[in-house]
């Protein structure tokens, strides 16, 4: 029995397990623990492909497992988080159609599903991305209840923004859009060890690290937005 060939798929299944555990924590409104398990799942998602290439055991089964695991960890979980945030927002649940409003949060899940399906058949995304990757989007969404929890006491504006149902709906729709938008995003992979060829990646990582040190959870949505904006600027003005 070749143990090596089962290692990547086992890692992928652990990613799926992390997503399932995160769902349980979201159901209990324990968003910080859910965030950590999604982060662990994303970490494992990186290494399943790494070990598949290392052991030369890449195959169609691994590709399908990877997408199915990501669908839970980076698709269902953020949709459920947005559902819970909308449920706790200033929605009058007794007012007719508004009782169904929180379910619109699962638009994120639908957008993630479409993104993952497109990625599997899109040959353009071998070295970079077109549209925001589902793990980045998941981190963006899961950071929002943490920002609300840790910053709303000192900022009335944060409280008002992240508990306003229409703002949450706009975030939801934007999330589904940016996942599937035909916007090339630069890769964070460093192929040559020199500053000139990796200036964009190094600058982005340095600024991101600084923001994380200074702002903690608040830095996460800012870093994701910065990544998209920097990619747009790179596409328009910096690419030769």
pLDDT tens, residue by residue, 30-82: 999 999 999 999 999 888 777 776 666 677 777 788 889 999 999 999 999 99
Task: Supply the mean pLDDT for the chain.
Answer: 87
Burial of residue 22, with CB atoms counted within 10 A of its CB: 0-12 exposed, 13-18 middle, 19 or more buried: buried
Which of these, 15, 48, 54, 18, lies nearest to 33 by C-alpha position? 18
Question: When comparing pLDDT for 149 and 46, which is higher?
Answer: 149
Token look-up 């995304």 returns 125
State the Cα–Cα distance between residues 92 and 106, nearest whole angstrom: 19
State the Cα–Cα distance between residues 153 and 97, nearest whole angstrom: 31
- What is the token pair recorded at 83? 């559902």
State the Cα–Cα distance between residues 31 and 18, nearest whole angstrom: 14
pLDDT at site 95: 67
pLDDT tens, residue by residue, 184-218: 998 776 555 566 667 888 889 899 999 999 999 99
Are the CB atoms for 227 and 136 separated by under 8 Å? yes
């Amino acid at each position: 029995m070749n143990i090596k060939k089962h290692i990547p798929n086992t890692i992928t299944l652990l990613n799926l397990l992390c997503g399932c555990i995160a769902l349980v924590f979201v159901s209990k409104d324990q968003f910080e623990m859910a965030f950590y398990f999604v982060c662990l799942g994303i970490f494992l998602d990186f290494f399943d492909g790494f070990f598949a290439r290392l052991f030369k055991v890449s195959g169609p089964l691994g590709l399908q497992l990877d997408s199915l695991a990501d669908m839970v960890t980076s698709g269902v979980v953020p949709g459920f988080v947005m559902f819970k945030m909308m449920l706790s927002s200033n929605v009058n649940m007794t007012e007719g159609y508004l009782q169904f409003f929180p379910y619109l949060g699962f638009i994120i899940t639908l957008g993630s599903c479409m993104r993952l399906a497109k990625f599997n058949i899109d040959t353009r995304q071998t070295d970079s991305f077109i549209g925001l990757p589902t793990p980045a989007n998941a981190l963006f969404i899961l950071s929002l209840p943490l920002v609300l929890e840790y910053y709303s006491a000192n900022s009335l504006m944060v409280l008002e923004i992240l508990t306003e149902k229409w703002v949450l709906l706009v975030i939801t729709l934007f999330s589904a859009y940016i996942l599937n938008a035909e916007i090339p995003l630069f890769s964070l992979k460093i192929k040559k060890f020199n500053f000139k060829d990796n200036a964009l990646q190094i600058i982005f990582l340095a600024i991101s690290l600084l923001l994380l040190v200074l702002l903690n959870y608040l830095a996460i949505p800012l870093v994701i937005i910065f990544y998209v904006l920097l990619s747009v600027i790179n596409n328009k003005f910096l690419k030769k």
